[in-house]
Structure 1
Amino acid sequence: MADAASDTVSTDKGDKGDRGGRGGRGDRGDSGSTNGIDRFFRISERGSTVGREVRGGLVTFFAMAYIIALNPLIIGTVKDASGQFLGGGTSPNIAMVAAATALVAGVVTILMGLVANYPLALATGLGLNAFLAFGVASSMTWADAMGLIVLEGLVILVLVLTGFRKAVFHAVPRELKTAISVGIGLFIALIGFVDAGLVRRTAAPPVPVQFGIDGSLGGWPVLVFVVGLLAITIMVVRKVRGAILYGILGATVLAIVIEAIAKVGAAGPGYATNPRGWGLNVPRLPDHWIQVPDFGLLGKFSLLGSFERIGIVAAVLLIFTLMVADFFDTMGTMTAIGSEAGLLDKDGVPPNSQRILVVDSVAAAAGGAASVSSATSYIESAAGVGEGARTGLASVVTGVCFLLATAFAPIVEIIPYEAATPALVVVGFLMMTQVTEISWDKYDIAIPAFLTIVLMPFTYSISVGIGAGFVSYVVLRAARGKAREIHPLLWVVALLFVVYFAIDPIKQVLGVS
C-alpha cells in the first residue's frame, strides 16, 4: 500500500519518489484504474488518483484566481493613445475585462489538460500585461496593442512548430534547468510574502524592503496569513491529504469571521491607504452569487494597426520584447512544475513538451484576440502539484473553475491574498530543495546557476533570471576554453538575451521612441 505521503506534499527528500508518482501505487487494481478518465489522463500510471487531481486542480485555481480581479485593475484602468479605456468608452469597464480574463484562462487551461496532459494552468501573464498597459497602449489604441500580442503568439507558435523552441529547451544543461526551478521556487515564495504584506516596500532608502509595517507585524490580515501558513506546514509535516486546499479554505473562513467582527477593510494599492487592510479582496459574503458575464471584448484587436501608427521598426522591436519574455517564462515554468511532480526524464524534459509549448503559444495569441493580454503558463500551478496533481485532469478542473468564475465572480472575490498566499510559500520551499542537485564546486556552472536563482526574485522576473544564467554560462564556458562544448543554440539564445537586455539603447541608436 502506498505511503500517505504520496497523497500530499512531503518535506522529506526520501519522499520525492512518492511526490513524483513514478513508483506506482498499491491500488492499481481498483476500478478507477480501468475507467476512461484514468486511461485518457494516465492517472494511475503517474501514481495519482482522481481525487488528488481534483484537489490539485482546485488548489491551483485558488492560488491564481487573483488574476481575475487583478488583470482588470492593470489593463482596464489605463487609457490608450486615443484617450479610451479597454473596450472603448471614457470610463473603465472592469467587469467586462474580468469576464474575458476568466474565459481565456478557462479555455486555454482545459486545452492544456486535454492536449498536453500536464498539470499546468494558464492565464493572463503578470508583467506582460503591465508592460502592455504602460509601455505599449500609450502610443497606440488598445486594439492595436492587442494585435501585437496576437502576432507575438503566432511567431512563437511558428518557432514551436519548426522545432526551434523545443531544440532550445533540449540545449539547456540539466543543472541550469534545476537552477531555473529553484529560482522560481524563491520567486513564488517572495510573491507570497509580498502579496500577504509580510514583506513590504520601505520609504527609507537604501533599504528596499522591510518586514511587515515598520519592521513588525501589524493587522488582522497578516495574522490570517501566519495562521494559514502554520496550518499548512503542520498538515504537510503530518502528511495530511489535502493540506494546501484545507489551509486556503480554512484561512478564508477565518478571514471572513475577522472582517465581520473587526471591519478591517481593503488595503488599497500597495497597502498605501490602509496598511493593515486586506490585500486584493475584502473577505465578506457577497450580496449576490451569480452575475451575467459580458464577453464584448472578444475579437476587439487590430492585427496590423500598430505598424501603421508607430512604424515597422518600432512594432517589430515591441513584438521581440514581448516574445522573449513569453518564450522563456514558459520553458522555465514547465520545467519547474515537472521537476516538482517528478515527471521529467533523465535530460530534464517533461512529457509531451512539444504539445505543452504549442498550447502555450496558442494561449498567447488567444489572450490578444480576447483583448486581455498574453495568456501564459502560471507558476502557481506548483501549488496544485504540491497537493498531488500529476496529470492534465487537474488542469481541466482548474479550467472549469475559471469558466464558472465568469458567472460566479462574486465567490472568487471572497478570497483575500492573505488566505491564498501561504500555499505559494510552502511550494516555494519544496522547489528550493532541488538546490542540492547543482554542482556548486564547479564555478562555470555554479555562478550561472546562482545568477539564475537570485535574479528571479530580486528582479521579479523569470525571464531576467533565465537570461542572466544563459549569458553568464556561455561567457564563462568560453573563458575556460570550452566554447566548443556549448550547444550552438545556446550561443543564439545568449545573443538574443543580450539584445533583450539592451533593448532601450538599441531603440535609441535606431531612433525609435
Structure 2
Amino acid sequence: MTQQSTEPQTVAEDAGEGSRQPAGRSWLDRYFHISDRGSSIPRELRGGITTFMAMCYILLLNPVILGSVQDVKHHTLAQPALVTATAFGAALCTLLMGFIGKVPLALAAGLNVSAALTTQVVPNMTWPQAMGMCVMYGVVICLLVVTGLREMVMNAIPLPLKHAITMGIGMFVALIGLVKAGFVAPGKGTPVTLGLTGELSGWPVLFFCFTLLLIFVLQARKVPGAILIGIIAGTVVSIAATKFGGLTDKDWGGAPPALHGSAVSMPDFGLFGHVQFGGWDKVGALSVGMIVFTLVLAGFFDAMATIIGVGTEAKLADDKGRMPGLSKALFVDGAGGAIGGLTGASGQTVFIESASGVGEGARTGLSSVVTGLFFAACLFFTPLTQLVPAQVAAAALVVIGSMMMSAAAHVDWSDRSVSIPVFLTVGLMPFTYQITTGVGAGVIAYTAIKAAQGKWREIGPFMWVLTGIFLVYFSLHPIEQWLGVK
C-alpha cells in the first residue's frame, strides 16, 4: 500500500482543488487553501513570524556545534560560512515545505543530526564526506516515503524505543550544551567534574547559568519565544559585564563577544556544494552503513512525530494521524537531509517550534513561506551572531534537551521489558557520546528480553534483522581480529 492511499481525501488536498473553489478569492487563498482551513492571510503572516522568532536560535546553535570540531584532516568549518549555510538551508527547505507541502511546518538544521555528525561521523572522515552522508540519508528517507516503506519501518520499531531515541538524543544534546558552556568538563580521577572544586568557575559559566534559568522561567510562564528572549538577554548581560565590569580575554578564555565592523554583510557560501562520496576505505562499509542508519534514526522518526503532532494541533489530521499532503511533507523533510548536506549545514528537519506559529493561527503553507523569507533575510546579517557568546547559546541546547525528555510520559516504566531497553537507549547515548551505541543497546535488549519471555511475535522480522546488524556492529573489532583483518 502506498503512502498516498493512506491519506484522507479532503477538500484542501492538492493544488488541483483550486478549480473546485468558488470564484472571487485571491490566488493566494486558492493556492494555499487559506479559507478552506478556516484561516486568513493576517493569521498566516502572524503565525509565520512567530515560528521564525521561536526557532531562529538555530542560527546561533548550529554553528556552535559544527564549528568547534576538527575532521580527520584537522579542518574546521568557518563560522560565517556556517551561519550562511544554516540560514540558507532553513530558508530553502521551509519555502519548499510551504509551496509543496502547503502545511505550517518550518525546517532547519536538526540539532540531533548535527550532534551525530560531530561526535560519530567527523572524527572518522572529512567534512565533505560527512556532508555526503547527509545527502545519502536524505535520499534514503525520500525513497522510504516514495516506496511506502516508511510505514513498515515505523511500525516495526516498538513505540517505547521511538520515545527512548527521542529522549536519548535530548540528553545527548543537553550534555553537549553543558560541555560547550564549561559547566561540565573533563576531570582528574573522575570522568567529569563541575568546574575544578565543585564550584562554578569563570564569568562565562555564570552567563550560561543566568541564560538557562531565565529561559526555564519564561517557558514555565508560557512566554512566546522564550529561547530567543533568553539568548538576547544573556548576550546583553554578557556584553554589559564585559564593558562595564572590565572582563578581559583571560576571563573569557579567548576574545570576548563583540561586533567587528558592520552588522550587515554579504552571505558566505564557501561551504555550498562541498560534498564528497567515497574515500571511506579507512572507515569500512559496515561503519558507513551504520552511520547512515544513525542519521536516518536521528532525522526521520522525530520528524514524523513532529509533523503529525503539529498537524493535529492545527486540526489538519484525523483521529488516525492522517493529514492532507502528508506524503509531500514527509518527502520535503527527507529532501531536507540532502539539501542540508549540499549547503554545508547538516540535515534539515521539521522543528517542533512550528507549533508556536500554529498557536497563533497558522493553518497553511503560507506561514511557512513567511518563515522561510525571514530566514533568507538573515543571510545578510551574519555578523550579528558574533555578539552571542558560545556559553549563552549553549544554554539553549540544554533547554532543547529538556523539552525532548517529555517523551518519558509515554513510557510504561513499570514494565521491565520496556523500561530496561528504554533506560539503556537513553543512558548510553550521553554516557558514551554516541547515538548509535544507545540505539543498538536498546534494540538488542528489547529483542533479547521479549524472546526470553516467549513473546516472539511482538519482536517482528525487521527487529530481528536490526538486532543482528547491531550485534555484528558491536562485535566488529573482535571479529576483525579473529579474521586477521586488523
Contact 2:54–2:224 (CA under 8 A) maintained in structure 1: no
| Alpha-carbon shift at residue 482 of structure 1 (Å) | 0.6
1:405/1:243 CA distance change after superposition, 3 Å: closer
Matching residue of 1:125: 114
The partner residue of 2:454 within 481, 486, 500 is 481
Give the TM-score taking structure 1 as reference length.
0.71
Aligned to 2:230: 247
Q: Distance in 1 between matches of 2:35 and 2:475?
A: 46
Q: Shift in Å at residue 66 of structure 1?
A: 2.9
Answer yes or no: is the 8 Å Cα contact 1:63–1:423 preserved in 2. Answer: no
**Alpha-carbon distance change, 501 to 164 in structure 1, aligned in 2, over 3 angstroms:** farther
Counterpart AA for 2:466: V
**Structure 2, gaps ≥5 residues long:** 1-27
Task: Please give the residue correspondences for 1:50-449 in structure 2 after superposition, counting only pairs within 5 Å.
Answer: 51=46, 53-63=48-58, 65-68=60-63, 70-74=65-69, 79=73, 95-96=80-81, 99-112=84-97, 114-116=99-101, 117=103, 118-122=105-109, 125-129=114-118, 131-137=120-126, 150-202=135-187, 204-205=188-189, 207-262=190-245, 264=247, 277=252, 282-301=256-275, 303=277, 306=279, 310=281, 316-317=285-286, 319-334=288-303, 337=306, 354-355=327-328, 357-370=330-343, 372=344, 374-377=346-349, 381-382=351-352, 399-449=372-422
Structure 1 residue ranges without an equivalent (≥5) = 1-33, 87-91, 267-273
Structure 2 length-normalised TM: 0.74
Q: Distance in 1 between matches of 2:321 and 2:432?
A: 25
* Structure-2 separation of matches of 1:506 and 1:41: 60
> Are the aligned partners of 1:168 and 1:490 in contact in 2 as well (CA < 8 Å)?
no
CA distance in 1, matches of 2:433, 2:63: 20
Measured after TM superposition, the shift of residue 440 of structure 1 is 1.7
Letter in 2 for 1:108: C
Task: Answer whether contact 2:337 2:347 (CA < 8 A) is retained.
Answer: yes
| Deviation, structure 1 residue 150 | 4.0
> Deviation at 1:498?
3.0
Pairwise CA distance, 1:62? 1.0
Contact 1:56–1:385 (CA under 8 A) maintained in structure 2: yes
Q: Partners of 1:420 and 1:241 in 2: how far apart? A: 18
Q: Using a 3 Å threshold, how does the CA distance of structure 1 residues 451 and 134 change in structure 2: closer, same or farther?
A: closer
Indicate if the aligned counterparts of 1:444 and 1:477 stay in contact, CA closer than 8 A. Answer: yes
- In 1, distance between residues paired with 2:440 and 2:322? 19
> What RMSD over aligned residues (CA atoms) do the two structures have, in Å?
4.2
- Give the whole-Å Cα distance in 2 for the aligned partners of 1:400 and 1:512: 53
Deviation sequence 1:167-204 (CA, Å, 0-9, x none): 211222333333333333333333333332222221x1
Matches of 1:484 and 1:163 in 2, distance apart? 23
1:373 to 1:134, Cα distance in 2 relative to 1, 3 A: farther
2:54–2:227: 8 Å Cα contact kept in structure 1? yes
Secondary structure at 2:115's aligned position in 1? coil
CA spacing shift, 1:49–1:256, aligned 2, 3 Å: farther
Aligned with 1:497 (options 470, 473, 476): 470
Contact 1:291 1:408 in 2 (8 A): yes
Q: Distance in 2 between matches of 1:360 and 1:462?
A: 21
Three-state SS of the structure 1 residue aligned to 2:279 is helix
Return the offset for 1:282. Answer: 3.8
Letter matched to residue 161 of structure 1? V
Cα distance 1:448–1:121, how it changes in 2: closer, same or farther (>3 A)? same
SS at match of 1:58: helix
Rate the CA distance shift 1:318–1:441 in 2: closer, same or farther, 3 A: closer
Aligned to 1:20: none
Q: Distance in 2 between matches of 1:151 and 1:455?
A: 26
Structure 2 distance, partners of 1:146, 1:242, is 31
Q: Identity of counterpart residues, as a percentage?
A: 34
Contact 2:58 2:108 in 1 (8 A): no
Amino acid at match of 1:257: A
- Going from structure 1 to structure 2, the CA distance change for 1:229 and 1:301 (only over 3 Å counts) comes to closer
Q: Which amino acid aligns with 2:237?
A: L
Report deviation, 1:402: 4.5
- Per the TM alignment, residue 238 of structure 1 is displaced from its structure 2 partner at its CA by 3.2
**SS of the residue 2:231 aligns to:** helix
Q: Could you list the per-position Cα deviations for residues 130-162 of structure 1 after superposition, in whole angstroms to 9, with x for gaps in the alignment? A: 65544123xxxx766755654454344334422
Residue 7 of structure 1 corresponds to none
AA in 2 matched with 1:287: G
Paired positions, count: 445
- Measure the CA separation in 1 of the matches of 2:267 and 2:325: 34
Q: Is the 8 A contact 1:99 1:293 kept in 2?
A: yes
